[in-house]
């Protein structure tokens, strides 16, 4: 069983508060910062066991993670056995398909960010109080480089991201933690897929102190919501007895793999089924395989390129249990204004503060983004991470079925994206997404969220 007192709370269950602040900092004076890390930050870090017990939850929760340059500023230069982490995210932006660094938040473009403090609470006022208190304690030992305030949407949109889709339905269950209570269809993964040094972590040469830490991938992903809505209105899937409006909803659902209610299109192919979407015993219980359909060619229920199918191909790969991440993102930015809706144009930035935890960035987030979402192939023909892959060359020698990139997050450095399979009755019909993607990377950083004992015994001494 895992030592839940020692694992930061955001990693396995997410802080799940309505307000969150990502406070990116640089370490200005390591010898001043280290004792304060021990005395002012460490006692306030919210562990997993604290999150699990409502009576122990603080008003404002706090977690922390460090970039490779941040660990180095602390004098910790040992390799954590993850090359993506070591290089930092900016160096990786081309490989991730980002269209150049022009769209990046300037503070992310480089390696100046040493760490992030994650504050989560019910109100922004609570967070402001906690930030003020911590800033006063830390003085000039750190400097704020950039911050992003994020907030869950409210009312009928509670739990939904800015495009309107219910999020946070499908995260894997972890052996030694909550695998016993896995919901039908939920992936059951080794603890080492998320936590370093636990069983199933393939990383080599991890220092002992890194155990029970996790790599945090942060991405500020801007969403062009009025533009996305206009695209759906302009390209309804016709036929199937649907109205134009229903055809537009269907297109959005087929791009995502789920309806806005969360109902998987694999189980509700033509019309939304909000009851199914809200039922945790059923809303994740599907594999894309059906006895009467050919898994390798049929897209009548779900396109191969749909976002959920790209990022977790289920039966297409015999359930790949290595390329799995724990998602803990939250929306940022305001609701779409009437003016933006009327003009079909974004004027104020909004999107997803994407947070994903894994023990190996190359097998987790990076594999999903680069090898799956940005590929024009279907998952059946896509490689798995090398540790469990029988033969990469065999996979690549398949005839390229050309289903297209993930229409939500797939990115080809700004190039036009051609997607097939959106029309359930005509899988060969293509849709071309030109110009901007609906999701634009504004960059981010690769971080390491250490265990509490690692902070006490290694990082603060
Ligand atoms: Fe995605 N969205 O809110 O619209 N995602 N995602 N994601 N995503 C999922 O199943 C979204 C992004 C995964 O288990 C749902 O919980 C948006 C990146 C994975 O079947 C919705 C953005 C990566 C899953 C969204 C975004 C992933 C998943 C359905 C960017 C990794 C689980 C709800 C702005 C590289 C798949 C659910 C499964 C599901 C949205 C980004 C990965 C609604 C808007 C960058 C693994």
Reported ipTM: 0.99
- Give the count of beta carbons closer than 10 Å to the beta carbon of residue 90: 20
pLDDT at 437 exceeding the cut of 50: yes
Tell me the pLDDT tens digit for each residue of 238-250.
Answer: 998 999 999 999 9
* CA–CA distance, 235 with 244 (Å, rounded to integer): 9
Residue nearest to atom 20 of ligand 1 (CA): 308
Cβ contacts of residue 136 below 8 Å, gap of 6+? Answer: none
From the CA of 277, how far away is ligand 1's center (Å)?
A: 15
**Which of 307, 332, 439 best tests ligand 1's pocket when mutated (most atoms within 8 Å of CB)?**
307
The answer to whether the CB of 239 falls within 8 A of the CB of 425 is yes
* CA–CA distance, 44 with 453 (Å, rounded to integer): 13
pLDDT at 296 exceeding the cut of 80: yes
- Band of the pLDDT at 382, cuts 50, 70, 90? low
From the CA of 408, how far away is ligand 1's center (Å)?
A: 9
DSSP 8-state assignment for residue 8: B
Tell me the pLDDT tens digit for each residue of 67-119.
Answer: 999 999 999 999 999 999 999 999 999 999 998 788 999 999 999 999 999 99
**Which of 327, 350, 444 best tests ligand 1's pocket when mutated (most atoms within 8 Å of CB)?**
327
- Band of the pLDDT at 414, cuts 50, 70, 90? confident
* CA–CA distance, 11 with 447 (Å, rounded to integer): 12
pLDDT at 401 exceeding the cut of 60: no
Atom of ligand 1 nearest to the CA of 258: 29
Half-sphere exposure of 49 (CA within 13 A, CB side): 8
User: In the chain, what are the domain boundaries?
Assistant: 9-221+444-459, 222-323+375-442
pLDDT at 202 exceeding the cut of 90: no
167 is an active site residue: yes
> Does the beta carbon of 170 lie inside 6 Å of ligand 1?
yes
Tell me the pLDDT tens digit for each residue of 304-323.
Answer: 999 999 999 999 888 888 99
Strand partners, 221: 352, 441
> Does the beta carbon of 307 lie inside 6 Å of ligand 1?
yes
From the CA of 370, how far away is ligand 1's center (Å)?
A: 15
Please pick, among 167, 201, 266, 272, the residue that the annotation labels catalytic: 167
């Amino acid at each position: 069983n895992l030592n839940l007192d020692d694992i930061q709370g955001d990693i396995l269950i997410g802080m799940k508060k309505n307000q969150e602040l990502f406070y990116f900092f640089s370490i200005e004076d390591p010898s001043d910062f280290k004792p304060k890390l021990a005395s002012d930050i460490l006692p306030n870090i919210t562990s997993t066991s604290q999150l699990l017990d409502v009576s122990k939850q603080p008003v404002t929760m706090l977690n922390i993670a460090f970039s490779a340059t941040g660990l180095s500023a602390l004098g910790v230069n040992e390799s954590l056995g993850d090359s993506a982490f070591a290089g930092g995210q900016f160096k990786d932006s081309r490989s991730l398909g980002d269209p150049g660094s022009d769209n990046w938040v300037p503070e992310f473009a480089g390696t100046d960010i040493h760490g992030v403090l994650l504050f989560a609470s019910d109100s922004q006022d609570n967070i402001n109080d906690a930030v003020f208190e911590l800033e006063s304690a830390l003085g000039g030992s750190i400097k704020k480089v950039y911050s992003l305030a994020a907030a869950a949407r409210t009312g009928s949109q509670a739990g939904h991201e800015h495009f309107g889709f219910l999020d946070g339905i499908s995260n894997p269950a972890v052996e030694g933690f909550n695998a016993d209570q896995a919901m039908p269809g939920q992936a059951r993964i080794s603890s080492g897929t998320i936590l370093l040094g636990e069983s199933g972590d393939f990383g080599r040469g991890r220092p002992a102190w890194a155990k029970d830490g996790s790599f945090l991938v942060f991405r500020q992903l801007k969403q062009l919501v009025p533009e996305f809505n206009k695209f759906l209105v302009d390209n309804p899937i016709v036929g199937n007895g649907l109205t134009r409006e229903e055809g537009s909803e269907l297109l959005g659902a087929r791009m995502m793999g789920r309806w806005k209610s969360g109902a998987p299109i694999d189980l509700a192919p033509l019309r939304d089924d909000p009851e199914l979407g809200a039922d945790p015993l059923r809303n994740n219980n599907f594999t894309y395989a059906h006895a009467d359909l050919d898994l390798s060619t049929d897209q009548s229920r779900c396109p191969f390129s749909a976002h959920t199918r790209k990022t977790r191909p289920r039966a297409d790969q015999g359930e790949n249990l290595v390329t799995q991440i724990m998602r803990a993102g939250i929306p940022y930015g305001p609701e779409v204004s009437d003016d933006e809706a009327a003009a079909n144009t974004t004027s104020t930035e909004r999107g997803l503060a994407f947070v994903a935890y894994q023990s190996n960035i190359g097998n987790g987030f990076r594999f999903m983004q680069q090898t799956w979402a940005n590929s024009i192939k279907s998952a059946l023909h896509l490689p798995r991470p090398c540790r469990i892959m029988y033969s990469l060359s065999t996979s690549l020698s398949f005839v390229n079925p050309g289903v297209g990139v993930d229409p939500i997050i797939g990115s080809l450095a700004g190039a036009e994206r051609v997607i097939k399979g959106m029309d359930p009755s005509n899988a060969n019909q293509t849709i071309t997404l030109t110009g901007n993607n609906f999701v634009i990377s504004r960059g981010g950083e690769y971080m390491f969220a250490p265990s509490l004992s690692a902070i006490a015994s290694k990082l603060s001494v």
